[in-house]
Amino acid sequence: MASIVIKGGTVVTADLSHAADVLVEGGVITAIGPDLSGDTVLDAAGCYIMPGGIDPHTHLEMPFMGTYSADDFESGTRAALAGGTTMVVDFILPGQGQGLMDAAQMWHNKSGRANCDYSYHMAVTWWGEKVWEDMALSVAAGIPSFKHFMAYKGALMVNDDELFASFRRVGDLGGLAMVHAENGDVVAELTAKLLAEGNTGPEAHGYSRPPQVEGEATNRAIMIADMAGVPLYVVHTSCEDAHEAIRRARAAGKRVWGEPLIQHLTLDESEYFHPDWDHAARRVMSPPFRDKKHQDSLWAGLQSGSLSCVATDHCAFTTAQKRFGLGDFSKIPNGTGGLEDRLPMLWTQGVGTGRLTPNEFVAVTSTNIAKILNLYPKKGAVLVGADADLVVWDPAKEKVISAGSQQSSIDYNVFEGKTVKGLPRYTLTRGQVAVQDGEIRTEEGHGRFVGRAAQPAVNRALSAWKELTAPRPVQRAGIPATGV
Ligand code: URP
Ligand code: ZN
Ligand code: ZN
Ligand code: ZN
């Protein structure tokens, strides 16, 4: 079997940087050290050898708001690899009344074209006995994380009683509860009011979902997870209001993680006031882009550890699809792209500015989520025995982001015109070189499904604590007679 040796670089992991060569055989790392040799040599001089990025939040070819997101598993994972990301975790979205495993089969049918490895989260989009039963099957099938939408009223939203029931079930199964935290009732009311008052343009999308609705829902989800005794992962944390809730929960010892997106870290609400309707609509996503002050909060969260992972929520729609919402902002399909740009943008604006160290960069783009999702050390590590999902990162390589040269199939890029410094020289997916100096050599269908085991240790600890502190009746010697 032909081997590959990556020579002359510095291995950078979440906790260590050291000069070493890396030998890859049969898709896994078989040696790390000085003076290694192999059949093919990849020159890593001046580069960092890091675990490939893991994007824990994508929506590829997803049915949503009357259409399908435009990037499928082929173009989406090609974009990922081009930007140094070697694994995506996509959300299975069962339709109303649809069984979870039926929906999982639909996702498996689509993902056969993936160029890199992938895993799934399951969404709980409705509630009933069938869902309760299927959740155990989902865990057994390697999908132990369950996302709940507190927004999208009338479509995907679940209510608090359903959230509590589902969270308890997730806890019993050793799984991870996840939430899209926005108060869907308030968003629906604000949307109707804005439209009635003639606020129909994309800027009203931001007005309809202020930070307070995200902060409230994040607090509520944390409280419900605490009552249910289940760990909680909050997706797309976009503002200080939500971050503050997560920070407080973590300081109180709760198992809660927050996930800012590269979009919210680097783009702000002024995009919605652009005179070009298309420009503004292309940036409509939920939660919306925020006032710049929230960016400082998110960066501080990454620096201090109160926020754990940077994702994209890649859910790309073409301009033609965005135009479904001409005259009514609530019909603009929600979502933006970012798979190809997450690592270069975060490196440029994080490591390039001194806000993050290279090791912290690895932690928030790969290793932390690998640990949270029970993928570590198969993924998220540069260790002997780990999958050779690697990026050879050239900190001197520059480009200007442009839709004209991107892998995503849409016709624009929300980061258009941004200069990034720090790009992959090579990206390897299970030992296969998929990107070489800007040349894309991906292989359709190379990607494999990575099933994940439940992680009962956290849940057991939480339930043991719940049991110790559970309400108990006071045993009394006698009860006073009534009417005395
Ligand atoms: O606007 C967004 N985020 N679209 C994708 C679906 C979701 O809410 O994650
Ligand atoms: Zn969401
Ligand atoms: Zn999403
Ligand atoms: Zn292959």
Question: 161-175: per-residue pLDDT in tens?
Answer: 999 999 999 999 999
pLDDT level of residue 483 (50, 70, 90 thresholds): low
pLDDT at 280: 98
The residue ranking higher by pLDDT, 465 or 120, is: 120
Minimum-distance ligand to the CA of 117?
Answer: 4
pLDDT for 50 beyond 90: yes
- Domains observed in the chain: 52-384+393-420+450-460 (3.20.20.140)
What would the pLDDT profile of 280-323 be if each residue is shown by its tens digit? 999 999 999 999 999 999 999 999 999 999 999 999 999 999 99
For ligand 1, atom 9: residue with the closest CA: 313
Least confident of 207-221, 342-356, 383-397, 456-470: 456-470
What would the pLDDT profile of 134-150 be if each residue is shown by its tens digit? 999 999 999 999 999 99
For ligand 1, atom 4: residue with the closest CA: 335
Cβ < 6 A, ligand 1 pocket: 59, 180, 285-286, 313, 315, 334-335
- Please give the Cα distance from 225 to 221 (Å, whole number): 6
Mean pLDDT estimate for the chain: 97
Task: Answer for the pair 258, 369: CB distance below 8 angstroms, yes or no.
Answer: no
For ligand 1, atom 5: residue with the closest CA: 335
What would the pLDDT profile of 435-462 be if each residue is shown by its tens digit? 999 899 999 999 999 999 998 777 777 7
Minimum-distance ligand to the CA of 287?
Answer: 1
Strands (E), 141-285: 145-149, 176-180, 232-234, 256-258
pLDDT at 345: 99
CA 186 – ligand 1 centroid, Å? 17
Pocket test for ligand 1, best of 67, 157, 236, 331 (most atoms within 8 A of CB): 236
For ligand 1, atom 7: residue with the closest CA: 286
Residue 297 to residues 179, 209, 290: CA-CA distances in angstroms? 20, 18, 11
CA 395 – ligand 3 centroid, Å? 30
pLDDT at 33: 98
Q: What is the pTM of this model?
A: 0.96
Here the ipTM equals 0.97
pLDDT level of residue 121 (50, 70, 90 thresholds): very high
pLDDT at 324: 98
The mean pLDDT of 58-69, rounded to a whole number, is 96
Task: For residue 286, give the ligand 1 atom closest to its CA.
Answer: 1
CA 35 – ligand 4 centroid, Å? 28
Half-sphere exposure of 182 (CA within 13 A, CB side): 26
Task: Answer for the pair 91, 59: CB distance below 8 angstroms, yes or no.
Answer: yes
Least confident of 206-210, 235-239, 389-393, 480-484: 480-484
The residue ranking higher by pLDDT, 475 or 362, is: 362
For ligand 1, atom 3: residue with the closest CA: 286
Pocket test for ligand 1, best of 285, 290, 330 (most atoms within 8 A of CB): 285
Q: What are phi and psi of 55, to 5 degrees?
A: -100, 110
